[in-house]
Amino acid sequence: MPENSEGAASTRARSARKDVTTTSIKRITADQIDSNFMEEVSKMPDGEKIHSCFQCGVCSGSCPIVFAMDYSPRQISEMIHIGLRKAVLSSATIWLCSTCYMCYERCPQGVKLTDVFNAIKNKAVEEGYLAPSVYERMGRQLLRNGFVYDMEAVNEEREALGLPAVKDVKQETIAEELKGTLIYKLLGERKEGEKKEASQKQ
């Protein structure tokens, strides 16, 4: 009998997880541990139940994109418990989460790991850990023309439909609106650093 769509999806997911190559948590030294980190995370929005995680791994087993992560959701939870602040905040995993909430739906302890990841992303930016390059490019694009993606292709489609082009937002307006945000400051600092590095190479 042909496999139904739900069964086929489960088979594909199991097959994908056979190739999971998340990073192993290697030997940890005392200087890597921040004993306050666990408490900080527990005080973040929806982070109060992180203490309840007993490492069953349901979150990792349920995650549809665990194969693309550097650390699995279970590993990130473990690292939070240990206090590996830098490793968690610099991890790509927190940015790769698709917010499907499957981990929360299935967690026997009701840990809202998806929302914890969202809160940790804010903490990461606060402490100077910029998102992976794709998000940085989106941020730069936003500062350049007011959109998080290139509008050229969009305007070509609009023209084909007889619609007027979407105009770029003036940079002065963008700067005024985003001036007080941390991402604006961080991207500005990164840009200045790149200019300085380029001038030194000349």
pLDDT in tens, 42-100: 998 888 899 999 999 999 999 998 998 999 999 999 999 999 999 999 998 998 888 89
Q: Closest Cα partner for 11 from 1, 3, 22?
A: 3
How many angstroms separate the Cα of 121 from the Cα of each of 115, 126, 135?
10, 9, 12
pLDDT of residue 189: 65
Mapped to the 3 state alphabet, what secondary structure does the chain carry?
CCCCHHHHHHHHHHHHHCCCCCCCCCCCCHHHCCCCHHHHHHCCCCCHHHHHCCCCCHHHHHCCCHHHCCCCHHHHHHHHHHCCHHHHHCCCHHHHCCCCCHHHHHCCCCCCHHHHHHHHHHHHHHCCCCCCHHHHHHHHHHHHHCCCCCHHHHHHHHHHCCCCCCCCCCHHHHHHHHCCCHHHHHHHHHHHHHHHHHHHHC
Question: Among all chains, which residue has been given the structure tokens 């989460």?
Answer: 97
**Residue 106: pLDDT above 80?**
yes
Residues 151-179, mean pLDDT to the nearest whole number: 83
Mean pLDDT of 1-22: 42
The answer to pTM > 0.75 is no
- pLDDT score at 21: 43
CATH 1.10.1060 positions along the chain are 5-126
Cα 171 from Cα 186, distance rounded (Å): 17
Range scoring the smallest mean pLDDT among 45-49, 139-143, 181-185: 181-185
Whether the predicted pLDDT of 10 surpasses 60:
no
- Domain covering 5-126 in this structure, CATH number: 1.10.1060
